[in-house]
Amino acid sequence: MLVGLDKIFLTLSTAEFIIGMSGNVFVGLVNCSEWIKNQKISFVDFILTCLALSRITQLLVSLWQSFVMTLSPPFYSTWKSAKLITLLWRITNHWTTWFTTCLSIFYLLKIAHFSHSFFLWLKWRTNRVVLAILVLSLPFLLFDFLVLESLNDFFLNVYVMDESNLTLHINDSKTLYIKTLILLSFSYTIPIVLSLTSLVLLFLSLVRHIRNLQLNFMGSRDPSTQAHKGAIKMVMSFLLLFTVHFFSIQLTNWMLLIFWNNKFTKFIMLAIYVFPSGHSLILILGNSKLRQTALKVLRHLKSTLKREKTILILYRCYAAIYNGIL
């Protein structure tokens, strides 16, 4: 039997899940349909599709975690589920973070203008550079997987097998778990640094570009300027949402281990949905193709609702006339 707070938590989790799934499924369907239709896909659309798929999986894992925590099955099965959820969530969060980082680097190499030979060398090999970054992220994923696997096994054995000095072992294992999670969080410093570097370089490129336009007595609303501003907004939104996401993860891990029996600690998890849900909507608004397709869908839904409303009114009028005749 769910109490009031549990119902509110599940309702909010489900609502955020639906919002996130709507945006990410929309991105995936639009790009996949274009891929099937044209028999090819651009590299940026490929990144967006992979990002949408990873976020769909991440949202499913997060919703599963919310239900497992709320429904409270027997402790052993709960911990087995928590172990699997932790590993799956870490994998999906890894790919979500790195695909978004690759998107930031792609914007930088495609839009920014610098005359340095090394930057030009990277710019001419944009696709290969992005793929190389994804490959280089695999050791971090393997490290996370191995550490979490060994630590989860240790934590499970402490709870299930040791009966003699249970309290001391639980406290020690909690401390070790928190320290390990903090250590694992440093693996996200690299994507943050790469995205922050992309943001700074895009801004410097924009400043230089506007200065050149002013020297040549040209307006500052040319396509290159707008592309710079759009890319900067995308990277800034990623950094802002990921900062909220990162600190909510750390706070959630700490609160759930120290105050696991407090019903209010679960509500901190709701902040974790902000990144996969909110950023997908920002990507739709920032991408011209996705934005135009979304507007078409909204117009179609609006016209469909109007048509159904008209049919309903006509039906009621017909029913009233029919009843009046009888």
Range from 97-111, 139-153, 163-177, 283-297 that averages highest in pLDDT: 97-111
Q: Is the pLDDT of residue 53 over 90?
A: yes
pLDDT at 298: 81
For residue 279, how many C-alpha atoms fall within 13 Å in the half-sphere facing its CB? Answer: 31
Of the candidates 275, 86, 273, the residue with the CA atom closest to the CA atom of residue 181: 86
Of the candidates 112, 114, 116, the residue with the CA atom closest to the CA atom of residue 225: 112
pLDDT at 131: 92
- Average pLDDT, whole number, for the chain? 77
pLDDT confidence band for 174 (50 / 70 / 90): low
In the chain, the largest separation of any two C-alpha atoms, in whole Å, equals 88
Report which DSSP code applies to 161. Answer: T
Contact 213, 184 (CB under 8 A): no
Q: Is the pLDDT of residue 166 over 50?
A: no
Distance between CA 68 and CA 84 in Å, rounded? 12
Tens digits of per-residue pLDDT, 89-123?
888 888 999 999 999 999 989 888 888 888 889 88
Count of Cβ atoms closer than 10 Å to residue 83 Cβ = 17
Lookup: tokens for 71? 């429904």
**Mean pLDDT along residues 6-22:** 84
Tens digits of per-residue pLDDT, 210-265?
887 766 655 556 777 788 788 888 888 888 888 888 887 777 777 766 666 566 66
